[in-house]
Structure formats: C-alpha cells, structure tokens
Amino acid sequence: MKYAIIKTINGNFSIHAEGFTDMSAAKVSYHGICSALWNASDVITACVMIVDENLDTLPGYKEFVSHLVEA
C-alpha cells in the first residue's frame, strides 16, 4: 500500500508528499508538517491528513490547525 500526505492551507489544496510505502516514514513527515503549520504565523487555517492509495484517511491522522481568534 502507498501513502500520501495531503494538506490545505488557507484554502489552498496540495499534496505535501506521496509514494510512502513505509507507514512510519509517512507518520514522521505528517507530524513534521503539522508542527510547522502550528508554528507558522501566516497560517490562518489548515488541515493535514495521511491517505492511502484509495484516498481513505488513516484513522487518527487528520489534523485541523486554526489560528482564528475567537471573540
């Protein structure tokens, strides 16, 4: 099975990385991009997920990032 990391940042969709055959490597990359997005000052909202070759999200590997200020 192959895995990819898909992300949306401020409404723009992209594939962050693809072609992982080792799930552990995909998880390391996923956590790295999540960390970077949580620390990025220009990110308002984002979503990151690991998907398999059928575009099914791996359970527990979908993260929402929001820097919106709540009133």
Residue 70 clears pLDDT 80, i.e. is over it: no
Q: Round to whole Å and give the CA distance between 37 and 19.
A: 22
Q: What is the pLDDT of residues 24-58, one digit of tens each?
A: 999 999 999 999 999 999 999 999 999 999 999 99
Query: So what's the pLDDT on residue 40?
Result: 95
Every domain of the chain and the residues it spans: 3-66
Percent helix, strand and coil across the chain, each rounded to 5? Answer: 25, 50, 30
Residue 4 clears pLDDT 60, i.e. is over it: yes
Q: What is the pLDDT of residues 9-21, one digit of tens each?
A: 999 999 999 999 9
Q: How many CB atoms lie within 10 A of CB 4?
A: 18
Query: So what's the pLDDT on residue 10?
Result: 96
Query: So what's the pLDDT on residue 16?
Result: 96
